[in-house]
Amino acid sequence: MSKKTQVILLGTGTPNADPKRSGPAVAVIVGQQAYLVDFGPGVVRQAAKAYELGIEALAPSNLKYAFCTHLHSDHTLGYADLIFSPWVLGREESLKIWGPKGLKNMTDHLHAAYGRDIQERREGKEPANPNGWQVEVTEIQAGVIYRDEEQGLIVEAFPVSHGSFVSFGYKFTAPDRTIVISGDTAPTDELIRQAKDCDLLVHEAYYAAGWETRNPEWKAYHASVHTSTLELGKIANAVKPKQLVLYHQLFMMDHQSEPTRVQDRVLVIEKEMIKEVESIYAGEVLSGQDMGIY
């Protein structure tokens, strides 16, 4: 393998329509191959942006492998984009994707929804190839779900806690680095076990101080299905990652009021969230940004 394993945060957003943060999507680059974790809104254009920055594995036509943490819309609204755009742009082989039960049903419905488009591109005058729109779906259980012997890569799925959804985090073990991506989750012992001593932990978080200002219903929801910055500090103390990166950050603010001031407020809260983690954890903590490379 000629290059260091890299992680690119294609999208660090949430359901909030933040113009600075695309939908959740993480790319793990091993050798010359990209592996996506989730595919929120804008995933292919974010990959194209990374390609323009010199990351050849993220050329849209190279997007061939993906892993889904769970079926929430903010993590999957880019699925049709991932199926069809790379095909239109030259991907000649089927998309391979792994994820929870229900992913095959979602795939079938997307193919049905775009059936007329597929027919026109295959049978009309546009010279589209016959395979690039197809998807090989593997609905998974916890454990090793993918191996690439040539690259020396092992991908493991492990259960996380996100309400009634069947949800997974993913662990990538490459020859040079071990990378763990939490997906959406409340704190779990299994994540700590899987991530122990990893090189990079990419973990979701919500703003603990902001959570205190929410109404009781939202407080109960976030506390049961997500991880606060203070909880993440405790997790990091147990895991001891070489580097901790926050993504899918819930800033606990109204993104639609005073829109001209939203980004100023986000910058303040980002710093506060890092301080909250650092009040418990002494290691390196970074606030993930779209196009961040680690």
37-64 pLDDT tens trace:
999 999 999 999 999 999 999 999 999 9
Contacts of residue 70, Cβ cutoff 8 Å, sequence gap at least 6: 99, 100, 162, 165, 166, 167, 168, 183, 184
User: Per-residue pLDDT averaged across 187-208, rounded?
Assistant: 98
**Residue 233 pLDDT > 90:** yes
Q: What is the pLDDT of residue 212?
A: 87
Q: Which two tokens stand for residue 6?
A: 């890299």
Dihedral pair phi/psi, residue 203, rounded to 5°: -135, 140
Q: Identify which has the larger pLDDT, 153 or 263.
A: 153
User: Per-residue pLDDT averaged across 199-221, rounded?
Assistant: 93
Q: Model confidence over 241-270: pLDDT tens digits?
A: 999 999 999 998 766 666 667 788 889 999
Q: Look up the CATH superfamily of 6-293.
A: Ribonuclease Z/Hydroxyacylglutathione hydrolase-like (3.60.15.10)
Dist CA 88 CA 9 (whole Å) = 24
Report how far apart, in Å, the C-alpha atoms of 210 and of each of 124, 214, 250 are: 54, 7, 9
Helix (H, G, I), strand (E, B) or coil at 29: strand
Residue with token string 């049905």:
112
Please report how the helices 79-88 and 115-123 are oriented relative to each other, as an axis angle in degrees rounded to 10.
Answer: 10
Residues 70-109, buried b or exposed e (16+ Cβ, 10 A)? bbbebbbbbbbbbbbbbbbeebeebbebbbbeebeebbee
User: Per-residue pLDDT averaged across 148-171, rounded?
Assistant: 97
* Cα-Cα-Cα-Cα dihedral sign, residues 231, 142, 35, 127: negative
Q: What is the pLDDT of residue 33?
A: 96
Q: What is the pLDDT of residue 1?
A: 40
CA angle at 180 for the pair 289 and 238, rounded to the nearest 5°: 105
Q: Which two tokens stand for residue 278?
A: 């650092």
Q: Which two tokens stand for residue 83?
A: 């199926």
**Residue 158 pLDDT > 90:** yes
Q: Model confidence over 59-116: pLDDT tens digits?
A: 999 999 999 999 999 999 999 999 999 999 999 999 999 999 999 999 999 999 999 9
**Residue 191 pLDDT > 50:** yes
Q: How confident is the model at residue 203 (pLDDT cuts 50, 70, 90)?
A: very high
DSSP line for 201-225:
EEEEEE-HHHHTTS-HHHHHHHHHH
- In the chain, where the domains are located: 6-293
